[in-house]
Amino acid sequence: MIRTQGLCKYFQRNHQEIKAVDGLDLQVHEGEVFGFLGPNGAGKTTTVRLLSCLIGPTKGRAWVNDLEIGKEDQKIRAQVGILTEAPGLYDRLSARRNLEIYAELYGVADVQEQVEKYLRFLELWEQRDVEAGTFSKGMKQKLAIARALLHEPPVLFLDEPTSALDPEAAKTVRDFIESLKGQGRTIFLCTHNLDEAERLCDRIAVFRQHLIAVDTPETLRRQLFGRQTVVHLAQVSEQLAVTVRSLPFVKHVEVLPGDGGAGKLVISLSDPVAQNPAIVQALVAQGAQIQFVNELRHSLEDVYLSLMHDNPDPLRV
């Protein structure tokens, strides 16, 4: 649905070349919610602008819905919806008029029907004749999302959809994006909110001028940290750690002592589901008192920070 090949965008600032996007190779599948993560200034907004044909590439090629950017820009713009960083509404006009203008510009066949559909869908119908400038941030953001969807685009670009929103408004917007997931649209989501990315995205890309990593959050987690089982014990000892280390499939064991002799063994494994029973059996045979066993799950934040700082470019594709 979205494909880029060595996509580059360089800007000239004070006689210096700034590489905003440098050789991006990416493939986003149809119907997928794709998270695009990166620090401020990483080039996320530039990428969205490139893919929605607002700016042209310096080098490289890209296709959106099989249409090549730079060659069929007007057609691409008709097939994508974009939520820009700021809602950018006409504050002096009503919510309905805001949407009518965009429906007409996108050439929507039945303007009134489509406007009503999205105003109702986003629970703004009662406020349809109220000036958009009087809306709360959350309502403005919902109206901007409605504007991006009016022409039923198969591809939707959402640039920081919940930034600067209070938790309640952010949840409303997130729930709405979640409801779009089942509609078969391809959603390209730029966000700083890793929890949001984890919850909404099928795959994520970590990006800083170029692609650092791309996969499902779970795969990236496993690639970076492997899989780890944590065994909580009433009494932990080095002897128990030696017993576990002696098992052929165990990669690494770390002892984490707690209060009053209690503690944990953190065991790196390739397949915890198959290997945990043997570990438990070996520990019980040594007289260990197991309190509970769980899998150590690294947050997406751990993955992101690891990729950005500890391993700046470990999985470059």
Partner 1 sequence: MKQIRTIVAKEWADVLRNKMVFYVVVLVPLLLTAIPVVMLYILGHSPVSQSDYEEMRRMLQNPIFAGLTPVEAMQSALASNFLVLFLMMPLMVPVTIAAYSIVGEKVSRSLEPLLATPITTTQLLLGKGLAAALPGVVMAWLSYGVFLIFARFFSVSGRVFSVFVNPMWLVAMFVLAPLLTVLAVNFGIIVSSRVNDPRAAEQLGALIILPLLVLLIGPLAGFIMLNSTTFWLSSLVVALLDVGLVYIGVALFQRETILTRWK
Report, in Å, the least distance between residue 46 CB and partner 1.
9
What is the spatial distance between Cα 138 and Cα 169, in angstroms, rounded to a whole number?
5
Catalog residues that contact partner 1 under the rule CB under 8 A.
11, 49, 52, 54-56, 74-75, 77-78, 80, 82, 84-93, 97, 101-102, 104-107, 144, 147-148
Report, in Å, the least distance between residue 74 CB and partner 1.
5
Report, in Å, the least distance between residue 12 CB and partner 1.
10
Pick the closer one to partner 1 by CB: 105 or 305.
Answer: 105
Pick the closer one to partner 1 by CB: 188 or 304.
Answer: 188
Report, in Å, the least distance between residue 81 CB and partner 1.
8
At residue 277, what are phi and psi to the nearest 5 degrees?
-60, -40
Pick the closer one to partner 1 by CB: 156 or 194.
Answer: 156
Pick the closer one to partner 1 by CB: 83 or 300.
Answer: 83
What is the spatial distance between Cα 95 and Cα 109, in angstroms, rounded to a whole number?
19
What is the spatial distance between Cα 279 and Cα 283, in angstroms, rounded to a whole number?
6
The answer to whether the beta carbons of residues 270 and 249 sit under 8 Å apart is yes
The answer to whether the beta carbons of residues 212 and 308 sit under 8 Å apart is yes
Report, in Å, the least distance between residue 90 CB and partner 1.
5
Structure tokens at 100: 């009518």
Report, in Å, the least distance between residue 39 CB and partner 1.
20
Pick the closer one to partner 1 by CB: 91 or 218.
Answer: 91
Place of tokens 């198969």: 154
Structure tokens at 83: 């939520």
Residues 6+ apart with CB under 8 A from 110: none
Pick the closer one to partner 1 by CB: 108 or 267.
Answer: 108
Alpha-carbon distance values, 258 to 192, 239, 240, 253 (Å): 35, 16, 15, 16
